[in-house]
Structure 1
Amino acid sequence: MYPTQAVFRPLTNRVLTGAGVRYARNLKPTSISTRNILTLKDHVYFSKATAEGPGRNGIVKSFGDSPLELKMAMPKAAGGKGDGQNPEQLFAMGYASCFLGALQLAAARANKKELAENAKVTANVFLGHPSEPDIDGFGLRVELTVEGCNNDEVIAAAHEFCPYSRALKHGAEVTVTKA
């Protein structure tokens, strides 16, 4: 099954609410809620990536210690050629790697380092249409599977510590500017 074609509209008619981005015309004054987001007092690492070309079928480059350049492509299941990587793959890779590091740190902090030494984390990232009819475009759903660590407290602590989990649970500060 192929998803319907995405409809893009300017951001000027949108309002950020606790449930995500919605069209202002669909909001009732009582439905706007606030959500605190996690902000940073400082940073210990900075990463930069640039995408160019025909959107999801262009090139993405990262800079820094170990530069990386990838050809991007819409997945076949979404109507593309599938001859490159896609943002969902990159998100899944980053989340799985980050969560594994958080899991190992949580186990070490609990003096149970051996619980996560051979652990493996799989992240499944799903791109799809939001079930709420007032939200246009696409959304993500993430499923994490932890293998090799059966301690629920360590897994929960990792979920609380992992920056990807925090961004999805608490929100992340995002600033969009024009160059």
Structure 2
Amino acid sequence: MAVSYTGVVTVTGEGRNGGRVTASDGHLTTALAIPKELGGAGGATNPEQLFAAGWGACFLGAVRRAAAERKVRLTNTAITVEATLHHGDDGEFGLSAVLNLELGGVDQETAAELGDAAHRLCPYSKATRGNIPVTVNATAVAVAA
């Protein structure tokens, strides 16, 4: 398989607890913090938000690809990704995700078909398939006039 692109980041410090993320190209530089909901200080991003952002951006690309393959014209796209960190009774952590996709310019059936197709195409979806619980909710939305 030919390499198309490799994103490189360095995480320093205490990781999610006060660490810092820096991309090799300088376009991403941010602090990390444990969310207040987990007893941390908050005030900075966290791995779940970064994962959700990457997955959401990639997923919308897969939606656009699926729509183009079907010659479907989308008037707008949006996605809200919920990446949830779970703490099991066994003391181990795990993830789950909900992808809430909104598509304009299509009916509900087409929105669902495009959501399913994107979930088959998206590299993040492929990487998580069978590893974590994932729900994809695709909704057709009217475009405001």
Tell me if both proteins adopt one fold, taking TM over 0.5 as the criterion: yes
Q: Which residue of 2 aligns with 1:9?
A: none
Kept in 2: contact 1:119–1:146 (CA 8 A):
yes
1:81 partner SS: coil
Map of 1:31-46 to 2, 5 A cutoff? 41-46=1-6
Are residues 1:63 and 2:24 paired? yes
Q: Within 5 Å, which residues of 2 pair with 1:15-34?
A: none
Q: TM-score normalized by structure 1?
A: 0.65
Alpha-carbon distance between aligned partners in 1 of 2:50 and 2:15, rounded to the nearest angstrom = 15
Partner of 2:135: none
* Distance of 1:124 and 1:67 partners within structure 2: 24
Structure 2: distance between partners of 1:121 and 1:53: 32
Q: How far apart are residue 154 of structure 1 and its match?
A: 1.7
Alignment of 1:28-177 (within 5 A): 41-56=1-16, 57-64=18-25, 67-112=27-72, 114-115=73-74, 117-130=75-88, 133=90, 136-149=91-104, 150=108, 151=110, 152-169=112-129
* Contact 1:110/1:154, CA 8 A, preserved across alignment: no
Query: What is the one-letter code of the residue matched to 1:83?
Result: G
Partner of 1:45, secondary structure, is coil
Give the structure with the larger strand fraction: 2
Q: Secondary structure at the match of 2:42?
A: coil
- Please tell me whether Structure 1 or Structure 2 has the larger radius of gyration of its CA atoms: 1
Equivalent residues, number: 125
What one-letter code is carried by the residue in structure 2 that aligns with 1:59?
R
1:170 Cα deviation from its structure 2 partner: 5.8
Percent of pairs identical after alignment? 39
SS of equivalent to 2:126? helix
Q: Distance in 1 between matches of 2:24 and 2:130?
A: 27
Q: Distance in 2 between matches of 1:142 and 1:170?
A: 12
Distance 2:87 2:35 in 1: 15
RMSD of equivalent CA atoms: 1.7
Q: Deviations over 1:84-133 (max 9, x none)?
A: 11000101111111111100110001111x13x401111011111236x4
Which amino acid counterpart does residue 145 of structure 1 have in structure 2?
N
After TM superposition, give the deviation of residue 54 of structure 1 in Å.
1.7
Q: Which runs of 5+ in 1 are unaligned?
A: 1-40, 172-179
Give secondary structure in 2 for the equivalent of 1:96: helix
Moved segments of 4+, more than 2 Å: none
How far 1:69 sits from its partner (Å)? 0.8
Q: Retained in 2: the 8 A contact 1:73–1:84?
A: yes
